[in-house]
Structure 1
Amino acid sequence: MIKGLRTLIQRLDTSHPLYTKFSQELQQQEAGDFGEQHIIKQLQKLANTLEIVILHNISLPAPIPIQLDIVVITPYDVVIIESKNIRGSIQLKLKPRQLIRTLETGERHIFNHPEIQLEEYVFGLDKFFKRQQVQVDVTGVIVFPFNNAEIQYDEGQFPVLMIRELAHFLRQHVLNKQSQSKIPSEKIGHLLMEHHRVYQIPSFCTYYNIDPQAIKKGVYCRQCIQKKLIRNKKNWFCTHCKMYDKTAHHQALQDYRMLINDQINTETARHFLELPNRHITKRLLQDYCTERKGQNNQMLYQL
């Protein structure tokens, strides 16, 4: 999603009605990913002493489709960590369940309470283990990964922690479970990895209902990003960086795959890459794409 949104923003005009929305969504995605990485680094420091297994971004398609930020498998149970990298003054209300964020400017935003999502994750993972005939308890915790939020909350179903509290929480959690039988942590980790499926979305134009004509054409410089390259004999040249890049069209074709379609014909590629003739385009496609189907003008190349 992050890579696709970056590509989409680069190839949309700033005047596009959805440009600001996509820019904000990218910031949220990047902030969320940065927060998760920070939590994982803290967990890795505990991995050996607590004998925990850590998994990141696990997607299980069945019995209920769920995407888990961070999964910690302790010697006694499984803890799902729901990361919330949100700044400002945060109020977590239970009746109704809402997350209310107030910025320094006084601007207020209302979101779903993270407990609602976490409940679904715990339920889905519990169902998964029962289907696999594995006996293991599943619980969850909500973690704010940075000290950029002032938190007020009503006591709910799951603990709400700042990152600095996570290590103590897990140590105490494991200590309180020591009267229980141990579970095969490594085996459970491998089981989740075996059933993990990478989250797939269609092309971004389809996903966000964008007219493909709104996507900017051309091959862009990989150094200065926004500058279009010109075709100079068998090379691409940036008039700004004065750099040559023989394979710059590879990135452009990947942009097309991500944003518009994973298949392309010669004429569409010539138009998208803004090349002078179809013979150059055909040669570049044949060099780049190993999989193709059809004949002559009906040839489709798999990106």
Structure 2
Amino acid sequence: MIVKRRTVPLKIQVGEALLRRLPEGAFSREELQGDLERRRAGYWGEQSIDHYLSFLDEKKYLIFHDLNLPRGEYTFQIDTLLLTANLAIILEVKNIAGTLFFDQLFHQLIRTNANGKEEGFPDPITQASLQKYQLNEFLHELQVPDIPIEYAVVICNKHSILKTNPGQEKIFRKVFKTPHLLNWIQALEKMYPKEVLSSKELRKISRQLIKKNTPPRKLFLDRYLTSKDELITGVYCPFCFYIPMQRMKRHWHCPDCSTKSRDAHMLALRDYFLLIDSKISNQQFRDFAQLSSRDIASRLLISTNFPSSGTTKGRFYFPPADLFNVTILDKKGFA
């Protein structure tokens, strides 16, 4: 059963929100654009494994796509997690073309393209191994029985060629092309025939995986900003992306293309939750949306029907569970 469906990964959504709000001359803008292009290619590639996962017994397998779970100040991300009563399976999916050399001496991935140009990437085997460790720590905190955790690096580009150092071919037990995925999972089922988790424990883990899933804000802001003060604030135009729109007569007006919108502030709120915090007050909303009126801000926040807590000046609003369930990237990259 698919518990968390595949949507645009939070790393892409956070990156797109940050790109919208970076000044045009920011030195990190070009780097961020390149990062997003690679992540989009990865997202499109990740969808190619869904056909194979559809053959799994939905009564036995719980499937979670794009989990971002907290570990200390940061989060760790898992492309796809398969959870059963017997074991957990981490799938690190890569959509990289060319000849891929998994260098086990220096623990790096070297891609050689058709023109013979070499390019280095972080070792996905090391990445997946670290995810295993972090997931194990996460599950320990839930005080559930220890469960075996396996991982694999799934190469979904059908044109890529896989190579490694002489004598290191054993890594291909965990690195393989997408069509081998079901065979590998079936082999694991034979290795782990014993049920470890009860139905109650599986439900507990599932609830916590969904509840703890959170945008990787700090990862991006630390990498691309020196201060949050660099972010461009204001409500952006849903048509031309101009910032800021102006609030006039119960509408948002774009001074650049003359678009009028009643609910453009919803997009600004989404950016706030992606980049700044998981809760927002009236004052914080006014500062971010460039609103001067507390009453207007209050009416707009109430109209969202977002979950809230507290009263008057102590009231905070929280993103609804489905706010980040975006499935399509538009031509401008907006998630």
The reply to whether TM is greater than 0.5 is yes
Change in 2 beyond 3 A, CA 1:177/1:288:
same
| Native 8 Å contact 2:79 2:93 kept in 1 | yes
CA contact (8 A) 2:101 2:109 kept: yes
What secondary structure is seen at the aligned counterpart in 1 of 2:56?
helix
Greater Rg over alpha carbons, structure: 1
CA shift at 1:251, angstroms?
2.3
Equivalent AA in structure 1 for residue 90 of structure 2? I
2:150 to 118, 123, 139: 139
Q: Which residue of 2 aligns with 1:190?
A: 203
Query: Match for residue 111 of structure 1?
Result: 121
Q: Secondary structure at the match of 1:247?
A: coil
C-alpha contact (below 8 Å) 1:206/1:260 kept by paired residues: no
The residue aligned with 2:251 is: 235
Give me the whole-angstrom Cα distance separating, in 2, the residues matched to 1:151 and 1:133: 38
SS of residue paired to 1:68: strand
Contact 2:68 2:215 in 1 (8 A): no
Name the Cα RMSD after superposition: 4.0
Cα offset, 1:125, TM superposition: 4.5
Corresponding residue of 2:263: 247
Q: Identity over aligned residues, as a percent?
A: 23
What's the counterpart of residue 284 of structure 1?
Answer: 296
Cα drift, residue 6 of structure 1: 0.8
- Pair 96,255 (structure 1): closer, same or farther in 2 beyond 3 Å: closer
1:58 to partner: Cα distance: 4.3
Match of 1:53 in 2: 62
Equivalences, count: 291
1:93, CA displacement in angstroms?
1.7
- What is aligned with 2:92? 82
Q: Residue 219 of structure 1 contacts residue 249 of structure 1 at CA under 8 Å; is this kept in 2?
A: yes
Is the CA contact 1:141–1:160 (under 8 Å) kept in the aligned structure 2?
yes
Corresponding position: 1:33 with 2:43: yes
The answer to whether the 8 A contact 1:205-1:260 is kept is no
Residues 30/302 of structure 1: CA separation in 2 closer, same or farther (3 Å cut): farther
1:221 aligns with 2:237: yes
Given the superposition, is the C-alpha separation of residues 246 and 108 from structure 1 closer, same or farther in structure 2, using an over 3 Å criterion?
same
Secondary structure (helix, strand or coil) at the match of 2:176 reads: strand
- Match for residue 269 of structure 1 among 274, 286, 294: 286
Counterpart selection for 1:155 from 151, 162, 169: 169
The change in CA–CA distance for 1:81 and 1:287 in structure 2 (over 3 A counts) is same
Contact residue 145 and residue 196 of structure 2 kept, 8 A: no
Return 5+ residue gaps in structure 2 as ranges: 1-10, 303-307, 318-335
Q: How has the CA–CA distance of structure 1 residues 223 and 129 changed in structure 2, closer, same or farther, with 3 Å as cutoff?
A: closer
More deviation in 71-80 or 199-208?
Answer: 199-208
TM-aligned CA deviation for residue 144 of structure 1: 1.1
| Gap regions ≥5 residues in structure 1 | none
The alpha carbon displacement at 1:99 in A equals 0.8
Shift of 1:79: 2.5
1:172-195: CA deviation from partner (whole Å, max 9, x where unpaired): 443x448x4445575564243244
- What TM-score does the superposition give when structure 2 sets the normalisation length? 0.68
Are the equivalent residues in 1 in contact too, given 2:102–2:163 (CA < 8 A)? yes
Query: Structure 1 residues 199, 94: closer, same or farther in 2, change over 3 A?
Result: same
Q: Report which stretch shifted further, 257-266 or 148-157.
A: 257-266
